[in-house]
Structures are given as structure tokens and as C-alpha cells.
Homo-oligomer: A and B are copies of this chain.
Amino acid sequence: MKCLSCREDYNAYVAGTCKVCYEEASETEEALKQEIEDLKAKVTFLRFWSPLDHNHRSTAVPGLPYTDVVLLASDGPKDLPPVPVPAHKAVLVSRSPVFKAMLENEMEESRSSTIKISDVSYEVLLAFINYLYTAEATLDEQMAYDLVVFAEKYQVKHLKAYCEKFLVSKLNWDNSVMSYAFAHQQNAKLVGDAALSLITDNMDKLTKREEYVELVERDPRLVVEIYEAYLAKQVNTAVHKDSSMKPQSNPVSMFYGGDTCAAEGEGGGE
């Protein structure tokens, strides 16, 4: 018979769904796509102007309207005054509990309308503030690392998760040890777990790496955690191998059983 989706003929061995379930699944997909459209419209409505459109070092463009605070990055060129990044206290306070505490607790920042931010470049500060208004950032690896640090410092979880996802997608053997150490420092669990998994898959090559030798020197406890994770993985794999070596009572399930269960779990006609 013919598959309604790919139009190819298929037989009972590779049967998927009946027509009713296929149509239900199509309807579910349509409904999910509609929900995505609705949510995207909501995001567009809720996001503010992008401060990026209003902040330029050289050209004179009108600033954000009704700002009541400016932020200054400390790490700029030494011979130039820092470029102010204007913002709204209401936005800072609503997005970051650290800014909230800073501005509400009668600190220097709450009396003046200037907040000096140390250890950050103008570019990173601007990207950070922009994210608070738009939930968007243009990332490369360096910017993502910088923003994770900033997001951790100012407790902006959404930004941190956003950058961590990006960094996980860029993980490879070459940056894995560095990423692992970084993640530990910044409490970045997503990156840390992914890097640890990559490292423990390549233990035979680990000890030859320069970053490994440095890490043993700098933070040996972190290296111990790598070995502990490796050990746990070995035990797990052994248990798994052991159980999969047992004879199957139903030979068909060796080919279809696993797949079918997985597909069931991912759920068609909900």
C-alpha cells in the first residue's frame, strides 16, 4: 500500500500508522505550528526596541526614550572616556535580581543615575543590555563565554541558558577541557555536563593534552571529577552490555522492539 506522506509503497513489516492516526498527527502538527506563530507574535509584541539600534560609538542617533540610568563599561580604550549605554531602571530591575538589589538598597547606584560595570568591554555590556530588552543576542564563541560570565554575575538565567546552548553546539575535543573548567567556574551545568561526556568518551587521548596538565596543576579536584565520571560510565556500560548479551525471548523485538517503544514514547496522536 502507499504511504500518504512519502507516496512510496510499503508493506506490513515497515507499517507506520493507519489513516486516522496519520490525519490526527497532521492536525496536531498544524495546531503546534499555530501555537508557535502565536507565541512568536507575543514575543514580538513584548520585546522592547533594541538598544543596539540606538547605541553607536560614532553616529549620533536618538537614544532610547525615557531612560533613567546609564551604564558604563570599565574595560574600554584607556585614552577615551567610556561610551554610556542608556537604559531603564525598570527593565534592569525586572530582569536581574542583582540590579534589583543594587538599585533598591540605597547603594551609590540607586542615588546616582550611573552604574559602573567593572571587568567588561563596551561590546559585551551592550550585548547584555540588548538581551534584557529583546531576549536576543548575536553570538560567537567569545561573546557567548563573556555573556555567561555576565549572566552568572547578574543572575539572568534566561541569557545564561541561551549562551550555554550555543556553547554546547560548539563543543569539540579541542575546546572540551577548557569548556569543562570554565563551566565549573561559572556554574554552567549544561556546558559542564556536555563537556564531561565528551571528555570521558576520549579518555585515551586526555592525558596528552596541554590543558589537562594545566588543570591538574591548577585545580586537581576537577580532574578527580573527570575520573569519577569515567569510572561511573564504565560501570554503566558494563551493566548495559551484560543485559544486552542475554538471549532474547522474542527475536522480532531485537529489530523492532526498541525502536517501537521509543517512537511510542515520543507520542503521535496526542
Contact = CB atoms under 8 A, between A and B. Distances in A.
23 contacts: A2-B15, A3-B16, A4-B260, A4-B264, A5-B18, A6-B20, A14-B20, A15-B19, A16-B16, A16-B21, A17-B22, A29-B266, A29-B270, A32-B32, A39-B43, A43-B43, A45-B158, A46-B46, A46-B134, A49-B94, A65-B89, A66-B89, A66-B90
Contacts of A257: none
A158 B18 contact: no
Classify the secondary structure of A's interface with B.
helix
Contact of A36 (B1, B36, B47): B36
Nearest to A134: B46
Interface string A238-270: 000000000000000000000110011011111
B23 A3 contact: no
Contacts of A44: 158
Contact of A3 (B14, B18, B93, B266): B18
A94 B48 CA distance: 7
A94 to B, nearest CB: 5
Given A10-B19, A29-B267, A35-B36, 15 more contacts: A2-B15, A4-B16, A4-B264, A5-B17, A6-B269, A14-B18, A23-B259, A25-B25, A36-B39, A39-B40, A42-B158, A44-B158, A66-B90, A68-B68, A90-B91
Interface centre among A22, A44, A91 (most CB of B within 10 A): A22
Nearest to A33: B32
A12 B1 contact: yes
Given A3-B15, A45-B135, A94-B48, A27 B266 contact: yes
A93 B65 contact: yes
B18 A16 contact: yes
A64 interface: yes
A260 B43 CA distance: 35
A41 interface: yes
Interface in A170-210: none
